[in-house]
Every structure is written in C-alpha cells, then in structure tokens.
Amino acid sequence: MSEQVTGAQSLVLSLEAAGVTDVFGIPGGAILPLYDPLMDSRQIRHILVRHEQGAGHAAEGYAAASGRVGVCMATSGPGATNLVTPIADAHMDSVPMVAVTGQVASASIGTDAFQEADIRGITMPITKHNFLVTNPDDIPQAIAEAFHLASTGRPGPVLVDVSKDALQAMTSFDWPPTINLPGYHPVTRPHAKQVREAARLMVEARQPVLYVGGGVIRANASAALLRLAELTGIPVVTTLMARGAFPDTHALQLGMPGMHGTVAAVGALQKADLLVTLGARFDDRVTGKLSSFAPNATVIHADIDPAEIGKNRFAEVPIVGDLNEIIPELIAAIQAEHAAGRQGDYEGWWSQLSHMRETYPLGYDLSEEGLSPQYVIERLGVISGENSIYTAGVGQHQMWAAQFIKYNQPRTWINSGGLGTMGFAVPAAMGAKVAMPDKTVWAVDGDGCFQMTNQELVTCTINEIPIKVALINNSSLGMVRQWQTLFYNERYSNTDLHSHRLPDFVKLADAYGCHGLRCETPDEVDATIEKAMSLNDAPVVIDFVVHKDAMVWPMVAAGMSNDEIMVARSMAPEWGSDD
C-alpha cells in the first residue's frame, strides 16, 4: 500500500531504499525542505561539509574506496554550480556518484529567479544522465534510475535536480519502481569470437603487453587480471588510474606508463607488437604524440564503453563488455590454446624488458639543500603499508606518490586522473575514511592543492573522521615550476606560493582541531610519520618542508613522442635500437 508523504520525505525514503548510508552536503533555500526529514533518518548519516566542492570530492573518495555509489547534496544556483568540478572529475574517472540538488520552484524556472541556475543544462556534457524533477510522484523513479545508471555499465555521475515545490507537495511513496530506460542496455557479455581471436593473437605475439587502465578496478576484475597475467607471462603496465589493479611487487609488473611513467613501461608499449588493452582509453598522458605511439602494435581493446574503442587508436580486435566477464573468458580461451599446443614465447621480449628495467630503475637523488620529497613519500608508503588508502591532489606530489608507494591492492590509490583537479586529496580522503573507517587513510597533498580545500579538515574534526595529511610543502606550484625550469628558461612567473612562511600549517592544523606536526630533515621523517600513525583521535597534518627544485622523472614533454622520454634531463639511449 502506498504511503502518503511529502516529496522531501519520498526522497529520503528513496535514498534509504537505494542503500544510502552516508551523504555529504550543505543545505540552502531550495533544498531546505529535504533537510527536515533527513534529520529523522536512522539510516543516513549526513556530513555537513564546508564547501560543496568538498562534498562532491568526498562522494568520489567514498565511491572509489568502497565501490559503492557516493552521494552529495547541494542547494540551487551557486550550491549546485560548486558541484560542477567534482561532477566533471567523476565523469572523467568513471566514478559512480549521485548528486542531488535543489532547484527553485517550478513556476520560477527560467525567470532568473534568486539562486537559479540551469544545473541540468550545465552538467549535461559531464554526467551519464541527469534529471529535472518537478512532479513529486516522479521522485522514487528518478532516484532508482539515477543509482542504476551511476553503478552499471561504465560508472559515472548522475544528477537529480528537484524543484522546491516538488519537495514540499504531497505524494505517495512506492518502492521499488520499475527501471524504465529504453536505449540503456550496457553489454556485459563479450562476443566469444572476439575473445578467441584475442587469445590467438596473444599466444602468437612475441612482444605483447597487458596495458591496464582504471576500468579493471571499477569492474572489480583485479583478481582475474592476476590470473591472466600469471597464466600467460605477459608483462603488465598499470596507468595512473590503475595503480593497485596489479601488484607492484609482482615480477610481471613494469610500472606506470605515460608522461611520468617508468622507462620500462613506456619502452614496452613503444616496442610492443601487441597491446592487450583492458579498461584503458589511450589517454594523451599515456600515449604522448598519438601518431608515434606503439607504432608496430596490433591492438586488442576491451572496455565496457563502446564509445572508447577506436576513439583514439584503431582496435583490430574490439571487445565490448564487463572486464570481470571478459578476462575469465579470455583465460579460458588461452587455456584452450595451451591445450592445443600453442603457447606464447616471450623469452626474448623479457630479455629486452629486464635490461630496460635494470638500466633505468625509478630513483631519485637525496637533496643536499633540504628534504627530498620522494624520500618522504617512499618512507610513508613503507611505514603506513599496503593496507592503507592514499589519496592525492594534482602535481608533483601526485606523481611521486604514484611512483614511490607500492600498491599491491585495488582501491588503495585514489586520485584525480582525467580532470587533474587541484584540491582533490583532502575531501577525497575524508570520503574514503567514511567508507572504510577501519583503514588508515592518507591524503598526500601539495601546499598549492591543500590551500584550495583544507577547510574540510574542520568537517573531519567535528565528525570524527581522523584522516592523515602528508603535506609536501615545496612552497611553490611544483609541477608548473618544473615546466618553467625545463621549457621557460627558469622564468618562475607566479609559481612561488611562499608557503615556507605563510601560512604556518602547524598552527592552521591546530586551529582546525587537528594535530599539527612539522618535519624538515631526513632523520626526522620516520619518527614523524610514526607519531602521526599513533594519533587517531583527530586528523593529523604533517608539514614536510621539502626542497623546491626536486623534479619528477622520467618525463615525456606534452605533445612529444614517447620515444623522447627524458631521464633526469638526459635522453634514454635505448630508443631507436633493438638492444
């Protein structure tokens, strides 16, 4: 029997029925009717953030750490537009998220009413789908479809915009509604013929690479990937979004490819005769100059999103489907090849790769002028360990965290890959900690990123969300400074943040109710990290005052070929030869 409720009550009941337990948001005029019944929910914990951008990134961190749909809320106008950046971020990185926004009363829509913005129109290019609900009877349907869309197929953000009068009017609540999405039927089962063809190419190839993207993590296919790699003996590269999809300590792992990838990973892709592409999208940060990327490789491309296949690189063998179904079927097809006496011979290939790996290992110089940021991050990974979750902002610290922390499990590395959003780390860490309260969660942040969203530390303190922040304070916009050093004749225009002087991050942490620590010398690093690990009653911020001229190596300059990878300012001599 239908229950008579307000539209706002129907929305709360719908969220509860969808399994929501945590929401990040801020109330305001248009969405205020929703906040009254939300107060009575015994299932949903609402976390009051300090900025809507923080709510969106927290929902992303929650989803990325747990695999569940993250939820954020905002009011109309500026509240909703403050969610645009995290929505775009979630869209680029395939993060399942539902954003609920209030809208002005339906009679006022289109009149430039107070705090009105066409958030549906604004976010149409950066959502999987979005809804404008002006009839309270439509609320359960919209919520059910939003969660279905966000979490199936290629995950992504969905926005539900609800007018104020729809929240205030009376309606009936019925659950579950029938999902009615004609035209939305994601293909999950792969085409068997394509899988068999992929298996044939894999055993015939002499220089294959498993090119692994974040889709493997989103599909919960990491265990299947491990079986495939060990069955075949094919080397694995994991993109920035796929760190943790395959263990870093595994002998088959070559590391991260791309602009700041390992020489072995970049070189393997360039020299490959077959790319087995799993949940990756041939992003420009991986391919470099596209026309020169992997010039001799045949491409197998498996992805849940058919729009990605062939978008940037032609795929000789396209496979559309869920990787958690594709990879097991590929394993079975490979086993059939082996049973028929056809097995890949990659001995010569591994000889080349091992030479590259040994000649150009990831490394760094200990600075004589201050604390080396790479050393700090490396020690953080060792001391906190592989069971911790690490989020990052964007820039040098992000790349060093991707390079020097060992990721052996999926969902332990969370960052803004596609959009490259500064300010991501702290709110994403907050969301990850809410989702996984028993995990240690570190936000590895830069002083530039940190000053964009550090107000969410107040949210963490008040709500007892004890994240830890490793602040890599080089007093500058480090990655931009690196480019100015290399390509702009050391003309440092507007990259000095003066963060070694202002603000005092230890005092700032104290003002936010956090533990503030500072570390300036190498001999203090371990003890400072261990001290932070022992403090779990409130958030912790460590101000690591590091050398400002440290650089991220290797590096492929934007628009250049991966053949022109730079290793500490020198060109890798490996390229152009078959050594």
- pLDDT digit string (tens) for the chain, length 579 residues: 477 999 999 999 999 999 999 999 999 999 999 999 999 999 999 999 999 999 999 999 999 999 999 999 999 999 999 999 999 999 999 999 999 999 999 999 999 999 999 999 999 999 999 999 999 999 999 999 999 999 999 999 999 999 999 999 999 999 999 998 999 999 999 999 999 999 999 999 999 999 999 999 999 999 999 999 999 999 999 999 999 999 999 999 999 999 999 999 999 999 999 999 999 999 999 999 999 999 999 999 999 999 999 999 999 999 999 999 999 999 999 999 999 999 999 999 999 999 999 999 999 988 877 899 999 999 999 999 999 999 999 999 999 999 999 999 999 999 999 999 999 999 999 999 999 999 999 999 999 999 999 999 999 999 999 999 999 999 999 999 999 999 999 999 999 999 988 999 999 999 999 999 999 999 999 999 999 999 999 999 999 999 999 999 999 998 899 999 887 544 344 444 343
Instruction: Name the active-site residue from 164, 433, 468, 548.
Output: 164
469, 540 in Cβ contact below 8 A? Answer: yes
Distance CA 333, CA 120 (A): 45
Could you identify the residue written with the tokens 């075949």? 232
Question: Which range marks the domain in which residue 60 is found?
Answer: 3-173
Task: Please check whether residue 109 lies inside any domain of the structure.
Answer: yes
CA distance 408 to 240: 14
Active site residue 253: no
Of the residues 300, 330, 359, which one is the last residue of a structural domain? Answer: 359
Cβ-based neighbours of 394, under 8 Å, separated by 6 or more: 415, 416, 420, 421, 422, 424, 449, 479
Question: Does a structural domain hold residue 487?
Answer: yes
Which of 256, 430, 479, 555 is flagged as catalytic? 479
- The DSSP call for residue 311 is T
DSSP one-letter code for 306: T
Residues 353 and 378 in one domain: no
Residues 346, 380 within the same domain? no
Active-site annotation holds for 566:
no
45 and 160 together in one domain:
yes
| 419 lies in some domain | yes
How many domains does the chain contain in total? 3
Q: How far apart are CA 543 and CA 519, in angstroms?
A: 6
Q: Are residues 31 and 106 in the same domain?
A: yes
Same domain, 199 and 80: no
Task: Indicate which residue of 52, 145, 308, 337 is catalytic.
Answer: 52
Q: Give yes or no for a contact between 97 and 90, defined as CB atoms under 8 angstroms apart.
A: yes
Residues 353 and 403 in one domain: no
Active-site annotation holds for 479: yes
Q: Check residue 568 and give its pLDDT.
A: 57
| Domain harbouring 27, CATH code | 3.40.50.970
Same domain (yes/no): 385, 325 = no
* 164 catalytic per annotation: yes
**300 is a domain residue:** yes
Which among 404, 361, 389, 387 is positioned nearest to 254, based on CA atoms? Answer: 361
Structural domain includes residue 366: no
Domain end (from 173, 202, 217): 173
326 lies in some domain: yes
Q: Are 19 and 93 within one domain? A: yes
Catalytic residue list contains 193: no
What pTM does this model have? Answer: 0.97
Q: Is 350 inside any structural domain?
A: yes
Q: Do 435 and 512 reside in the same domain of the chain? A: yes
Domain end point (choices 331, 359, 387) = 359
Residue 560 to residues 277, 294, 362, Cα–Cα distance (Å): 22, 13, 21
Q: Annotated catalytic residue: which of 3, 4, 114, 487?
A: 114
